[in-house]
Amino acid sequence: MKNAWVSETLHSGIELKLRVEKSLYLSNSLSQKIEFVKTNRFGTALIMDGAIQTTTEDEFIYHEMMSHIPLFSHPKPEKVLIIGGGDGGILREVLKHKAVKKITVVEIEKQVIEQTKKYLPQICKDAFKSKRLELIIADGAEFIKNKSKLYDVAIIDSPDPAGPAKVLFENNFYRNISKILKSNGIMIRQSGSSFLQKEELKDNYKKLSKIFKYTNVYITAVPTYIGGFFNLIFASDKINIESLSLATIKKRVQKNKIKTKCYNPEIHLASFKLPNYIREIIGDKK
Amino acid sequence: MKNAWVSETLHSGIELKLRVEKSLYLSNSLSQKIEFVKTNRFGTALIMDGAIQTTTEDEFIYHEMMSHIPLFSHPKPEKVLIIGGGDGGILREVLKHKAVKKITVVEIEKQVIEQTKKYLPQICKDAFKSKRLELIIADGAEFIKNKSKLYDVAIIDSPDPAGPAKVLFENNFYRNISKILKSNGIMIRQSGSSFLQKEELKDNYKKLSKIFKYTNVYITAVPTYIGGFFNLIFASDKINIESLSLATIKKRVQKNKIKTKCYNPEIHLASFKLPNYIREIIGDKK
């Protein structure tokens, strides 16, 4: 394995290569190729169909920004829905919030949970043992149909819009998410690279801003998600991130002391300030 | 050239690969390997000693963040020094400021200017024809010795600390920069990736904060500079970025209308808000 590398082949014309110390698991079924590798520089990595899903060295950025932004934007997040999220990273972060009474994780692949527990235990830690967790193995898009006003926060932790995850980027899905949220609920999803997945961002933003009153893009940077700023989307019918003050967020964070490696109240608001080229993608004429 | 790729080999264990449509120029001297390639996804790229220096698709982020942050932080930037910057990208952005009367560019390699004019004309545009430009071919570290209080802003546009650029990361150099600045002057430099060049950031921050009263790190994300957030450093004896209001910056920007693809007043202040892991690198206990 001395000169082995793994390449991300998600985008055409640009690839990220990570040097591999050891291959831990490889399953090449008809529907999906799943790989766990120990890399030299980013710890253990999970790669699905050629796309890097997560690594133990930089996962904290994505998982914290997907969790603490909605939870500290909400005055009292008691019930949280996670669609996808089989690696347990978002669950781990949501569990840090004392206000949260129940977390429903809807993962389509039981295997993902079992494998990540085995090969990426650093990510989920003890999260799947929590008594506040309701774990459901089902298609997230099916699960949310015909349900209403159940959750304060819904976090869509899906891979890129291809294969089984494609349905999690469609109008129908977003409409059902808006129905399953309580009136002051918040929805969060990732929306890819600001350079390599511009169309995806444009499309997600357009769809969501037709359904929700307030739709905002926020950004971070994750080393193994290449392509510059990484986009996330915040959508709500009642909570306007632009009226949220730093003082309010600080108060909430102080009340619920949590340890984070990326998130803090200043970053919370700063991440919603977008460079002009991202404003342009979403048609924001500010 | 159908299956040609160029790889960045700057960091061990992680590489960025760009697909190459056409090789434009290759010079492999004893001291340096210089390559210009037309890529499929990022336009024309300049690669020096295996490190991607700039590409025509994403150069605007680095050049705008290195220029407009110091220039709009300063009440009246009339004289600007650029050390390095042979590709003309920063010069191009600085020239957008009407207040600036004179820009001194000190580039060590005349060849870099000639080559980038030829292969990357999209970057410098007409910048080198400006009457406000004083172009000096010299070693920047030597040029600034024994000079005092000449510039309002000094921008250090250097590659990574190796080879001839190494001297631009040393205590002596920073001390001379502080002397060549007027009393309310500002110094700016890049300081690499927040994941892959932590030691470099720590070292630069430590050195600069011993010399300047106010030293602050700010961040952006550039697709072809891999490793998550990309660090830049702001240092001044008089201008404290934390006391600068959004209203002041907006007023300055409105007065000097400029077209930018990345920079705006909100990003100006937001980029100084750091995630915890970067605060930790620089020992900021906020």
Asked if residue A233 lies in contact with residue A21, where contact means CB atoms within 8 angstroms, the answer is: no
- pLDDT band at residue B286 using 50, 70 and 90 as cut-offs: low
pLDDT at A1: 55
Residue A105, classed as helix, strand or coil, is strand
Give percent above pLDDT 90 in chain A.
Answer: 90
CATH number of the domain enclosing A195: 3.40.50.150
Chain A neighbors of B221, CB-CB under 8 A: 194, 219, 221, 228-230
Contact criterion met (CB < 8 Å) for A228 and B14: no
What would the pLDDT profile of A149-195 be if each residue is shown by its tens digit? 999 999 999 988 888 789 999 999 999 999 999 999 999 999 999 99
Q: Rounded mean pLDDT of B143-151? A: 97
Please give the model's pTM, rounded to 2 decimal places. 0.97
Give the residue-averaged pLDDT of A272-284. Answer: 97
A78 plus A37 within the same structural domain? no
Identify whether residues A29 and A77 lie together within a single domain.
no
- Say if strands A5-7 and A14-28 run parallel, antiparallel, or are unpaired: antiparallel
Query: What is the predicted pLDDT for the residue at B160?
Result: 86
| Per-residue model confidence as pLDDT tens digits over B22-36 | 999 998 876 778 899
User: B156 in a domain, yes or no?
Assistant: yes
Instruction: Judge whether residue B230 has pLDDT over 80.
Output: yes
**B230 contacts on A by Cβ (under 8 Å):** 221
Domain assignment present for residue B286? The answer is no
Distance CA(B72)–CA(B196), nearest Å, equals: 30
Which residues in chain A are closer than 8 Å to B12, comparing Cβ atoms? 19, 40-41
Task: Tell whether B27 and B125 lie within a shared domain.
Answer: no
The reply to whether residue A7 touches residue B19, judged by beta carbons under 8 angstroms, is no
The answer to whether A226 and A193 have CB atoms below 8 angstroms apart is: yes
Determine the distance in angstroms separating the CA of B173 from the nearest CA of chain A, rounded to an integer: 31
Distance CA A174, CA A167 (A): 10
Q: Is residue A286 part of a domain?
A: no
Which one of the listed residues B58, B152, B157, B160 is annotated catalytic? B157
Interchain proximity B274–A267, CB inside 8 Å: yes
pLDDT at A113: 92
Q: State mean pLDDT over B122-151.
A: 96
What whole-number distance in Å separates Cα of residue A99 and Cα of residue A94?
10
Specify whether B18 is located in the same domain as B106: no
pLDDT of B2 reads: 58
- Residue A45's closest CA among A65, A9, A21? A21
Rounded to 5 degrees, φ, ψ at A178 are -65, -30
pLDDT in tens, A34-93: 899 999 999 999 999 889 999 999 999 999 999 999 999 999 999 999 999 999 999 999
The domain tally of chain A equals: 2
pLDDT at A261 over 80: yes
Nearest to B276 among A14, A196, A262 (CB): A262
Do B77 and B98 belong together in one domain? yes
Query: Do A79 and A219 have their domain in common?
Result: yes
Range of the domain at B99: 59-281
Instruction: Report yes or no on B223 lying in a domain.
Output: yes
pLDDT at B267 over 80: yes
Which chain A residue is nearest to residue B276, measuring alpha carbons? A262
Enter the DSSP assignment of A170.
S
Measure CA of the first residue to CA of the last residue in chain A; give whole Å: 52
ipTM over 0.90: yes
Same domain, residue pair A127 and A266: yes
**Which range is least confidently modeled, A22-26, A28-32, A195-199, B79-83?**
A28-32
How many inter-chain contacts (A to B, CB under 8 Å) are there?
A: 132
Are B106 and B138 spatial neighbours (Cβ–Cβ below 8 Å)? yes
Q: Which helix (H) or strand (E) holds A48?
A: strand A44-48
- Name the band, by pLDDT with cuts 50, 70 and 90, for residue B1: low
- Residues of A annotated catalytic, as ranges: 157
CB neighbours of residue B12 within 10 Å: 10
Whether residue B196 and residue A223 make contact (CB cut-off 8 A), yes or no, is yes
